[in-house]
Chain A
Amino acid sequence: MCILVDRNTRVIVQGITGTVGSFQTKVMLDYGTKVVAGVTPGKGGQEVHGVPVYDLVEDAMEENGGEAVICFVPGPFAADAALEDIEAGLGLVVITAEGVPLQDVMRVMNLAADRGVSIIGPDTAGVISPGRCKLGVHPHRLFMEGGVGVISKSGALSYEVSKALTESGLGQSTVVGIGGGPMWGLTQVDALEMFEEDEETEGIVLLGEIGGTMEEEAAEYIREHVSKPVVALIVGRHAPEGERMGHAGAIIQHGRGLADGKIKALRSAGVHVVKGPREIPNVIKSLL
């Protein structure tokens, strides 16, 4: 098994007719993802790489079904697109856009929680279960099917680490990008819980960064509930205080959110914390 998405996940692509949406749809189809429909308001009736396009998500769902959606709609319109997905009854919504107004994100998260819908993102690369389903923009050649679960705030950092794992012969069960914050749908704790339960996952890599308290909460959760080995990498060790480091959530303020505190919390929960990606494969191998 793997988490969140597998071979049978039927995927809808929102914003499928745009440059990015169309290109990424092709890549997902080539990878074997079951993209069953696309949505672009006003472009209903067209086809993109053989995938039928609809004006409304509910129409796409009615004719093709679907469990998950990846949304390539730009920031200003992404929240509305996500609300449409939730209303239509999709169970998993990946919001790739950055720059979504925060009050909009808040409304999406609240409705999703009410309806029991999982949101990944915003500002995320999505999720990939290598060899089975890619619901995201990952450069898939760097990934390989296997037993390591990867959780990352940053998409690109998860590519970097998966590349190191793959090159040393360690495949991944699922790689989840949860997004750059400062508001998250799926959290590190949610993903840890899924990997702990997933039979295929033998070890977990947690990729965190400065800012906020999510890594500390993950450490607490690992201490109490995770029996599988966890290796963590926290980036931003050399980030200056008070500067936002690219992700909205990645900022050290008033001496809080420092990498040091997160590293200490994780170590005290029994997590092996490393300084860079190349150490990860060997540490994982030694723990399995």
Chain B
Amino acid sequence: MRLYEFQAKEMFAKHGIKIPRGRVVDTSEQAVDIAKELGVPVAVKAQIRVGGRGLAGGIKFARNPEEAKELAAGILGGTLKKEDVDRVLVEEKIPIESEYFAGVTIDYQRKALAVIASSRGGVDIESIALEHPGEIVKEEVDPSIGLTDFGARRIGKKVGLEGRNMLSFANTLKSLYSILLGYDATLVEANPLALAADGSFVAVDAKIVLDDNASFRHRELFSELETHRKTPSEGAGLRKALAEKAEIPTYIERGGNMGIIADGAGTGMLTLDLTRDHGGDVETYCELGGRANPELIEEAMKIVLSNEKVCFLLINLIGGLNRMDEMAKGITSYLSKEKGLKHEPGAQIVVRMSGTLEEEGRMILREAGVDSFDNIYEAIEKAVGLARRS
């Protein structure tokens, strides 16, 4: 889970990293109050959880409270990078000497923790890598030893800092590192990390990505962060939220008339590729992972088919761990309830089933009057044929 900037900054502050004074608000009136309280030029920053916010117009600067109100009103209630903006962070605009990049992450290839730093902060690390590849310092950290004080100072030296600034930069790195370890984060980043006029470092922006797999170790934190999430009340956003709640690994809507439900990432992508190759127009892509159960596939069908655009649903199952008898039970359970609901006209459904206990699964489907294919191509041709004739 990626944290909002204001949440990440709260965590930074708790760990001794300086952040600009400010507060998150959800109305332009509150924005005025905060700007007045701060009494200095402020930044008004849209709280969304995707990068590239500045270029998209999500960060503005106000010289006075009235301007802050206008800017906040302009940002709030809108959409940026496909996310609804219902909060802005209003904070003091820091007079900056120079901008640094400081981050800690997991290097998946090296299977180690890595500290990444640069004196070319303020743009994303990919851009620094493109424009100033020689000015990125990357140091691997042996997880059994951890980031040492001298190791952090060495990185400070390598980005060109001296004296007190170098020590202060090293302390910031240590704090980022302890957040990464302490909260099972996969990425903790201060960028820009500004060297302020008074010689201190201030995290002007903050990014933390937590490992959802480790949420069981941080239940309180996760539920606290969840309370700040707004669940959309309708449409694609609601369906996506419902899928997430049901722990469906992948749910994507693109714009077409077909839906795909598959039981594995690899076969899911294969089904999508082949369906597109055959001329199918895929609206919804839904993938259940290799450990589905009857309830999960039933819920997936409910969510996918609640989208009126989906008129043709292709279910492609090839189970190892997934048992086809269980999948068939989920499918027939959905269908029996759908008939009760009298959805007219219901979407046409094509099922392909192969793998563990496929005979048992096929039998259950047959008894419910549902035919199923054994061959993936035959199922795709059938589904695309139906969809294209419509």
Contact = CB atoms under 8 A, between A and B. Distances in A.
Contacts of A100: 213
Interface string B270-295: 10111011000010000101110000
Contacts of A249: 108
A235 B321 CA distance: 21
Contacts of B111: 106, 109-110, 113, 183
B264 interface: yes
Contact of A210 (B126, B269, B320): B269
Contacts of B106: 102-103, 106, 183
B144 interface: yes
Contact of A157 (B216, B217, B266): B266
B269 A236 contact: yes
B320 A235 contact: no
Interface string A168-198: 0000000000001111000000000000000
B356 A277 contact: no
A153 B267 CA distance: 11
8 contacts: A99-B212, A102-B213, A209-B266, A238-B282, A239-B272, A245-B268, A246-B289, A278-B377
A33 interface: no
Contacts of B358: 139
B265 interface: yes
Interface residues on A, range: 35 or more
B273 A245 contact: no
B294 to A, nearest CB: 14
Contacts of B276: 237-238
B214 interface: yes
A246 B267 CA distance: 10
B132 to A, nearest CB: 17
Interface string B308-325: 000000000011110000
Contacts of A154: 264-267, 269
A56 to B, nearest CB: 23
Contacts of B254: 240
B186 A110 contact: no
A166 to B, nearest CB: 12
B118 interface: no
Interface residues of B, number: 51
Nearest to A138: B320
B280 to A, nearest CB: 10
A101 B355 contact: no
Contacts of B289: 98, 246
A155 interface: yes
B354 A246 contact: no
A235 B270 contact: yes
Given A110-B143, A157-B267, A243-B252, A277 B318 contact: no
A159 B321 contact: no
A101 B377 CA distance: 37
Interface string A222-265: 00000000000101111110011111011000100000000000
Nearest to B321: A137
Given A156-B267, A238-B276, A250-B269, A103 B181 contact: yes
A156 B263 contact: yes
A211 to B, nearest CB: 10
Contact of B287 (A139, A152, A246): A246
A275 B264 contact: no
A106 B113 CA distance: 9
B112 interface: yes
